Amino acid sequence: MSSIKQFQVTFDCAAPERVARFWCEVLGYVVPPPPEGFATWDDFARSLPPERQDSSFSCSDPTGVGPRMYFQRVPEGKVVKNRVHLCVRVGTGLVGDERLATLEAECARLTALGAVHQRTLYADEENESCIVMQDIEGNEFCID
């Protein structure tokens, strides 16, 4: 039996390019170059029929290590909590006040990009602190 070597994370959303560019800022990802024959993504979008414009967008880890992120437009809005969410690892190896300060600084940076702080979960006997947030379309994620 062979194992899967790569995977893609797909988001259903209302505005794929907007959400993709948000996650580029969160993760340090990059937008791929536009298709051959087009100087910009806007030029490419204008070449499509209106119903296909902003129907999908992607971004990727410039190092090639992280998964590709794909964003596809869907007609329905988000109505319930995500069953799967991303954890953005900014405090790995840190504990206590140092970890919390790092998480709070990242929370402030992401809030400035349009994310919403939901709640801070403080360290206890079993778990270190983490912060629950929502992206610009309400998808939950954690910074930990």
Domain that residue 53 falls in? 8-73
Q: Are residues 44 and 92 in the same domain?
A: no
Question: Is the predicted pLDDT of residue 109 greater than 90, yes or no?
Answer: yes
Section 24-50 average pLDDT: 93
Q: 105 in a domain, yes or no?
A: yes
DSSP tag of 121: E
How large a percentage of the chain has pLDDT more than 90?
76
Number of folded domains in the chain?
Answer: 2
Q: Are residues 68 and 91 in the same domain?
A: no
Section 97-121 average pLDDT: 97
Section 44-59 average pLDDT: 90
pLDDT band at 53 (very low <50, low <70, confident <90, very high): confident
Q: Are residues 15 and 41 in the same domain?
A: yes
Q: 79 in a domain, yes or no?
A: no
- Name the CA dihedral angle for 7, 135, 141, 89, rounded to a multiple of 10 degrees: 80
Section 41-45 average pLDDT: 91
Mean pLDDT of the chain: 92
